[in-house]
Amino acid sequence: MREMKEIWIEKYRPRALKEVAGQKEITDRLQSYVRSKNLPHLMFAGSPGTGKTTCALALAKELFGEGWKNNFVEMNASDERGIDVVRGKIKEFARTAPIGGAGFKIIFLDEADALTNDAQSALRRTMERYSAICRFIISCNYSSKIIEPIQSRCAVFRFRQLKAEDVKRYLQHIAKLEKLDVADDALDALVHVANGDMRKAVNSLQVAAALSETITVDVVYQTTGTAHPEEVKRLLETALKGDFLEARSQLDELMITYGLSGEDVIRQIHKQFFELNIPDIEKVRLIDKTGEVEFRIVEGSNERIQLEALLAYLVLVGSTNIKR
């Protein structure tokens, strides 16, 4: 059992733009701002765990040096999403002069897509009024939720999901520093679980390392609450063969062993459809049916009934292919 003194996602967060994994095109553009010692308002859009916050912090450190904390403030819009936070905290910081001879300060507004439209409209005016001494970095998961006037005032950077090799390389770097013995298939499992989210990958590695310095694929799936892909595939193949009761039993085992919710199961089933040995047209039908089941679960329908309905549909698909 390892003693964890620090969250690894913070401990190993890149300190410079060139160290950020998987976003070279973006970091190269940001470094041009560092060289010029100036930047416009920026908008970082992309999925969670792709490096938006890391890039904002690294940019501030490279622009302002040791005193970067004096001219950089991070706010999370999901904490206070109304107009008052814009008129109060944000405006108050934006209109004070930079410290230490810096030409401007930076406000990093994380999860800005949580702001109401009224708050965004107030933010637009604040960005306009104090642009001489303050720059905004707007971070969001969905750029479509940011009003057009704000988007037009920003240089937009779209962060893509990280490639498997980038995530793998970074995990190997951490494992080496922490003196962990990570099996190759366990590393692949961590990449699979992360699905392009570096934060999730690093946190999953730390949780697994808390149990043992030797990390196996079984440890990864148990600690991340994710079913082994082969077990999910076996569940689907059992249903396609027509054995509904056995498939139902396997579903029970998956949900109990890994503590999965209905949404978790649906997401993993969706990934495994493409591995099944059935005609492409049947895969299309299964994806369509899965989308319907997932929607019903999200809207509050009984997840157990919906999952069993999906298994029943798989049985019907399998019997149709056998007759052909």
Segment 272-315, tens digit of pLDDT: 888 888 888 888 999 999 999 999 999 988 999 999 999 999 99
Cα separation, 161 vs 5, in Å, equals 29
Beta strand extents in the chain (DSSP E only):
41-46, 72-76, 105-110, 134-140, 154-159, 181-182, 214-215
In this predicted structure, the answer to whether residue 2 has a pLDDT above a threshold of 60 is: no
Give SS3 for 178: coil
- Whole-prediction pTM value? 0.81
Residues in the chain: 324
Write the single-letter amino acid at 164.
A
**Residue range 23-159, CATH number:** 3.40.50.300
Per residue in 180-204, pLDDT (tens digit) is 888 888 899 999 888 888 999 999 8
**Better-predicted residue by pLDDT, 131 or 86:** 131
Cα separation, 190 vs 201, in Å, equals 6
pLDDT at position 236? 92
From 312, 146, 152, 165, select the one nearest 243 (Cα to Cα).
312
**Better-predicted residue by pLDDT, 36 or 82:** 36
pLDDT at position 217? 87
In this predicted structure, the answer to whether residue 320 has a pLDDT above a threshold of 80 is: no
In this predicted structure, the answer to whether residue 43 has a pLDDT above a threshold of 90 is: yes
Per-residue pLDDT averaged across 247-265, rounded?
Answer: 86
In this predicted structure, the answer to whether residue 321 has a pLDDT above a threshold of 70 is: no
**CB-count burial class (<10 Å; 0-12, 13-18, 19+) for 186:** buried
**Residue range 164-224, CATH number:** 1.10.8.60
pLDDT at position 100? 76
pLDDT at position 82? 57
Looking at domain 229-323, its CATH architecture is Up-down Bundle (1.20)
Give SS3 for 146: coil
- Whether residue 154 contacts residue 41, with contact meaning beta carbons closer than 8 Å, is answered with yes
Tokens 């800005």, residue? Answer: 112
Per-residue pLDDT averaged across 17-33, rounded?
Answer: 91
Mean per-residue pLDDT over the chain, rounded: 86
Give SS3 for 279: coil
pLDDT at position 84? 61
Strand partners, 137: 42, 108
From 160, 168, 161, 158, select the one nearest 138 (Cα to Cα).
158
Ranges of H-type helices in 86-147: 91-94, 117-129
Kindly tell me the sign of the dihedral angle through the C-alpha atoms of 84, 90, 94, 99. Answer: positive
In this predicted structure, the answer to whether residue 233 has a pLDDT above a threshold of 50 is: yes
From 41, 107, 46, select the one nearest 77 (Cα to Cα).
107
Confidence of residue 55 (pLDDT cuts 50, 70, 90): very high
pLDDT at position 218? 85
Tokens 């299309």, residue? Answer: 284
pLDDT at position 4? 60
Instruction: Give the H/E segment covering residue 232.
Output: helix 229-240
Cα separation, 159 vs 55, in Å, equals 10
In this predicted structure, the answer to whether residue 249 has a pLDDT above a threshold of 80 is: yes
pLDDT at position 310? 92
The DSSP bridge pattern shows strands 134-140 and 105-110 to be: parallel
Confidence of residue 210 (pLDDT cuts 50, 70, 90): confident
Structure tokens at 250: 């396997």
Domain ranges of the chain: 23-159, 164-224, 229-323
In this predicted structure, the answer to whether residue 232 has a pLDDT above a threshold of 70 is: yes
pLDDT at position 83? 64
Structure tokens at 69: 């904390």
